[in-house]
Amino acid sequence: MKYRIIFTTGYTDDIDSLTKELKCDVLILDEQGNYYNPQFITIGRIKGAFDEDMNCYLEDNLVILHSITKQTVLNSIPELHKWMFFKRWIPLTIDQLEKYFYPTDDWSSFSVTVD
């Protein structure tokens, strides 16, 4: 299986995602043409947002990493595939894709092949 990992706001370096400990501008495109929007976050960011007054911390398509860099995002794809994210997550509709991620001028993409 081959996936295309798209950074929809472009990719220059990891400073922003390392500082914010959050990356939500990533799309996974599968061979069937389905786009998925994982939310990459660090455990440190969750700890900061999860105070004692909260019962739980919820986020759609959540992927927790130790740190968020281009390489850790790309390295997570085989694990997501093994976990069968494509059966658990709902692909984006064309309307959602166009509303939140277009235009495509800034998109930077990388290929990841999974056995």
Reported as a single tens digit per residue, the pLDDT across 41-98 is 999 988 887 877 788 888 899 999 999 999 999 999 999 999 999 999 999 999 999 9
Res 53: pLDDT = 79
Res 51: pLDDT = 77
Closest CA to 113 of 81, 87, 72: 81
Res 57: pLDDT = 80
* Domain spans, the chain: 2-113
Whether residue 29 is predicted with pLDDT greater than 80 in this model: the reply is yes
Distance of CA 97 to the CA centre of its chain: 14
**CB-CB contact of 62 with 42 (8 Å):** no
Whether residue 8 is predicted with pLDDT greater than 90 in this model: the reply is yes
Res 72: pLDDT = 97
Provide the 8-state DSSP code for 91: P
Across-strand partners of 35? Answer: 29
Res 55: pLDDT = 86
Segment holding 29, helix H or strand E: strand 26-29
Long-range contacts at 100-104 (CB < 8 A, ≥ 24 apart): 100/37, 101/8, 101/25, 101/27, 104/8
82 CB neighbour count, 10 Å cutoff: 10
pTM assigned to the model: 0.92
Whether residue 22 is predicted with pLDDT greater than 80 in this model: the reply is yes
